[in-house]
Amino acid sequence: MRPLLPMKRRLPKAPAGDPAFAPLEDPRMYWPVQRARLSKTVREGAQSLGVPVECGLLRLWQHNLPGAAWVERIGLPRRAVELTLGDKLVLHVNPNNLVRATHWQGWPYKYRPTSSAFIWDGEWDLRRGDLRTSSRARFIADIDAHRDDLAQSEAFAKYMARLKAGKPWSSHQQGILLDSEARILTFLRVYLSFMDDMAARGFDSTRGKDMLGVAVTREGRLLKINRGLHRLAMAQHLGLPSVPVMVKAVHRQWWERVTQGTVGHVAWQRTCGELPTCIPEMEAGPLDPIES
What residues does each domain of the chain span? 19-280
Report which DSSP code applies to 150.
G
> Where is average pLDDT lowest: 18-32, 94-108, 238-252?
18-32
Q: What pLDDT does 210 receive? A: 76
Judged by DSSP in three states, 234 sits in helix
Per-residue pLDDT tens digits for 150-172: 999 999 999 999 999 999 998 87
Q: What pLDDT does 48 receive? A: 67
Q: Which spans in the chain are helix H?
A: 30-62, 68-73, 78-85, 135-145, 154-164, 181-201, 229-238, 252-259, 264-274
Could you tell me what percent of the chain has a pLDDT over 90?
Answer: 72
Report the C-alpha gap between 153 and 146 in whole angstroms: 6
**Global pTM value:** 0.87
Q: Which is more confidently placed, 174 or 213?
A: 213
Per-residue pLDDT tens digits for 215-258: 999 999 999 997 789 999 999 999 999 999 999 999 999 999 99
pLDDT exceeds cutoff 80 at 17: no
Q: What pLDDT does 38 receive? A: 64
pLDDT exceeds cutoff 60 at 134: yes
Task: For residue 245, give the H/E element and its range.
Answer: strand 243-251
Q: What is the mean pLDDT of the chain?
A: 89
Query: Cα-Cα-Cα-Cα dihedral of 28, 30, 31, 32, to 10°?
Result: 80
pLDDT exceeds cutoff 50 at 31: yes
Could you tell me what percent of the chain has a pLDDT over 70?
Answer: 86
Band of the pLDDT at 8, cuts 50, 70, 90?
very low
Buried b (16+ CB within 10 A) or exposed e, 259-270: beeebeeebbeb
> Where is average pLDDT lowest: 16-20, 76-80, 109-113, 178-182?
16-20
Report the C-alpha gap between 97 and 185 in whole angstroms: 31
Band of the pLDDT at 176, cuts 50, 70, 90?
confident
pLDDT exceeds cutoff 60 at 2: no
Per-residue pLDDT tens digits for 59-73: 999 999 999 999 999
pLDDT exceeds cutoff 70 at 287: yes
pLDDT exceeds cutoff 80 at 286: yes
